[in-house]
Amino acid sequence: MINAFHIPVLKNEVLRYLQPSPGGVYVDGTIGGGGHAESIIERCFPRGTLIGFDRDPDALCEAEQRLRKYRDNIVLIRDNFAAIRSQLTARDISLVDGILMDLGVSSYQIDTAGRGFAFQRDGRLDMRMDTNQILDAWTVVNKYEESKLVGILREYGEEQNARKIARKIVEMRSKKTIETTGEFVRVISMVSARRFLTKTLARVFQAIRIEVNNELESLRAGLLAAIGVLKPGGRLVVISYHSLEDRVAKELFQSLAKNRIPSGSKLIPDTIIQPEIKILTKKPVTAQPTEIALNARARSAKLRAAERLPRQ
């Protein structure tokens, strides 16, 4: 059960920045176990609507159970949040009042060994958020060329020993395919000092997961699409859990919060694109020590928020 593990991170901060109100239409782009969604719909009830996206069918089933009290006000969609515009259009919804994106892997996915997300649990190398997709961690680890593995570990894991780790993966899989997370951990431990092993494993597993799920490209596309469907005054709240995600959100917010000149245009006032958003968080909002004490996964969470400006 997802709900047994799901504790929404930065819940009070999400509500403060999102400002859900009765009758509003809100989107949870990664509904997971439904913890944030429940707190949002509570404040929109009885006339409001919450639209929840998730690629994971298990998450949608559990969210449906958790939110059954509000079933007439909930729309659940199995899709990547990058498809938000087309999915809303298909339901005759053009603009919404607010959007939450709680990024990364869910507690349920981490804690379920069979999903293969966590190096602390032995299970098949999988890491797919959408269990229907073909590409999985087994394929990345056992089939990707060494140079491609090096690039993934460097770009998505920021791993300094990427080449050494990739070389060892290729060497070991030539003898026997690497089937499980436990076997993968043992391969990495062969080239990592014991005192650094936990951090190395975290970086490597993060890199493989991002590759499998195309997370950073989905995030960029999803953020742009989300801003495009916000009403003037509508708010976008993003919670990230590692520097790569946070950097994407930060840079996109900064870009859209200032005047821009279209590529190839001369500096003529009529050609300047006015700011699309106002940034509400000068610095990322982080969890208080009391929350971290109750939920260790809140330690790495960073929240950024922006408000849609009136369309020019």
pLDDT at residue 131, as a whole number? 87
pLDDT at residue 125, as a whole number? 95
Given CATH 3.40.50.150, say whether it is the number of domain 11-102+215-308: yes
pLDDT at residue 270, as a whole number? 57
With 0-12 CB in 10 A as exposed, 13-18 as middle and 19+ as buried, what is 311?
exposed
- The alpha carbon dihedral of 120, 125, 128, 132 has a sign of negative
CA-nearest of 256, 244, 243, 236 to 218 is: 244
Distance CA 241, CA 105 (A): 9
Q: Are 96 and 51 in contact (CB under 8 A)?
A: yes
**Boundaries of CATH 1.10.150.170 in the chain?**
116-213
Prediction pTM value: 0.89
**Boundaries of CATH 3.40.50.150 in the chain?**
11-102+215-308
Q: Are 103 and 27 in contact (CB under 8 A)?
A: no
The 3-state DSSP class for residue 180 equals strand
pLDDT at residue 119, as a whole number? 84
What is the DSSP annotation of the chain?
--TTT---TTHHHHHHHH---TT-EEEETT-TTSHHHHHHHHHHTTT-EEEEEES-HHHHHHHHHHTGGGGGGEEEEES-GGGHHHHHHHTT---EEEEEEE-S--HHHHH-GGG---TTS--BS---SSTT-S--HHHHHHHS-HHHHHHHHHHHH--TTHHHHHHHHHHHHTTS---BHHHHHHHHHTSS-GGGHHHHHHHHHHHHHHHHHTHHHHHHHHHHHHHHTEEEEEEEEEEESSHHHHHHHHHHHHHHTS-B--TT--S-GGGPBPP-EEES-SS-B---HHHHHH-GGGGG-EEEEEEEPPP-
Chain segment 234-278, per-residue pLDDT in tens: 999 999 999 999 999 999 999 999 877 666 555 555 556 789 999
The 3-state DSSP class for residue 232 equals strand
Topology at the third CATH level for domain 116-213: DNA polymerase; domain 1 (1.10.150)
Distance CA 233, CA 311 (A): 10
Residue segments in the chain with a per-residue pLDDT below the cut of 70: 1-6, 106-113, 261-272, 312
Token look-up 């680890």 returns: 141
Residue 235 forms beta bridges with which residues?
Answer: 98, 307
